[in-house]
Amino acid sequence: MNFDITHPEIHETVWRALEEDIGPGDITSEACVPPRRQAQGFFAARERLVVAGSELLPAIYQMRGGIEEVTISAPSGTWVDAGQQVAYVRGSARTLLECERVALNFLQRLSGVATSARRYVDAVAGTKCRILDTRKTTPGMRRLEKMAAAAGGITNHRMGLFDAVLIKNNHIAAAGGVHAALDRVRKTGLEIEIEVHSRAELEEALEWGAKRLLLDNLAPEEAAEWIRVIGGRAETELSGGITLENLRAYAETGADFLSCGAITHSAAAVDINFRLQLV
């Protein structure tokens, strides 16, 4: 998986993380570590996980003046077992120490998202259903978290409010109904998806040419019935109340997509540690 870190948003996120943690300087390292001391460090998994964000390491160290070597052993999307090395670094001991927490924060958080995503993907294996992420992300971390989710194997949904049309129930209310909402958004030229909450809204959306429907908060049995009624006239996405425990039941309804906010908003950080040695 290509974990592209060239986007300006990612550069700014990494820079802000370093500024937040180091500020005017790492007083502990500056006080107790000689300025010319060299060291090497090893990032290693302490549990089985899917790596994400290891490609950020060169950028992190570069923003603090650079180090002699950064070797990524496990690129984003790689399964690693407990004890397996994720990356190796060598350079100024002070630089390695002052970047340690920021590097681990990114690796642990993003690998947690990737590992969560892979569990969801594995749960629907053998069905036609694809798993989507959502906009339920950590503020300021969306691009990175969506890249991490993709590293785990899911399909990224819209990045924000600007790159796709998703008409939800409050849009329908504000626009004056399903027909009015669909009629007004056609001029965008973008892919249109609309949320429907009743069979009447479903039929109206199909009548006015909707090609992708979001069915929210239906039990698997209800979702399967609605999908039979749709009969392939539009793609279907299910959301609301979907968990790892019931994911398979929803995937077997015939839905094209399942969207799960928990992939990002409830992903637990995984256990990756850093060990430093003098050289």
User: Do 260 and 272 belong to one domain?
Assistant: no
The answer to whether 133 and 117 have CB atoms below 8 angstroms apart is yes
Q: What is the pLDDT of residue 140?
A: 95
The CATH number covering residue 218 comes to 3.20.20.70
Instruction: Please give the order of strands across the beta sheet that includes 165-167.
Output: 130-132, 257-259, 235-239, 212-216, 192-196, 165-167
Q: What is the pLDDT of residue 1?
A: 54
Question: Hey, what long-range contacts does 197-204 have (CB within 8 A, 24 or more apart)?
Answer: 197/169, 199/226, 199/229, 201/172, 202/226, 202/229, 202/230, 204/177, 204/178, 204/179
Domain that holds residue 42: 8-117+267-278
In a domain, 189, yes or no: yes
- By the 8 A CB rule, do 196 and 205 touch? yes
pLDDT tens across the length of the chain (279 residues): 578 899 999 999 999 999 999 999 999 999 999 999 999 999 999 999 999 999 999 999 999 999 999 999 999 999 999 999 999 999 999 999 999 999 999 999 999 999 999 999 999 999 999 999 999 999 999 999 999 999 999 999 999 999 899 999 999 999 999 999 999 998 888 888 999 999 999 999 999 989 999 999 999 999 999 999 999 999 999 999 999 999 999 999 999 999 999 999 999 999 999 999 999
- pLDDT at residue 19 in the model: 98
Contacts made by residues 207-211, CB under 8 angstroms, sequence distance 24+: 208/178, 208/179, 208/182, 208/183, 209/182, 210/182, 210/234, 211/235
- Residue 70 to residue 60: CA distance in whole angstroms: 11
Q: Considering the domain boundaries, does residue 2 fall inside one?
A: no
| N residues, the chain | 279
**Same domain as 259, residue 136:** yes
pLDDT number for residue 186: 87
Structure tokens at 138: 């950590």
**259 and 274 share one domain:** no
pTM: 0.95
> Catalytic residue positions?
101, 136, 168, 195, 216
* 261 and 171 within one domain: yes
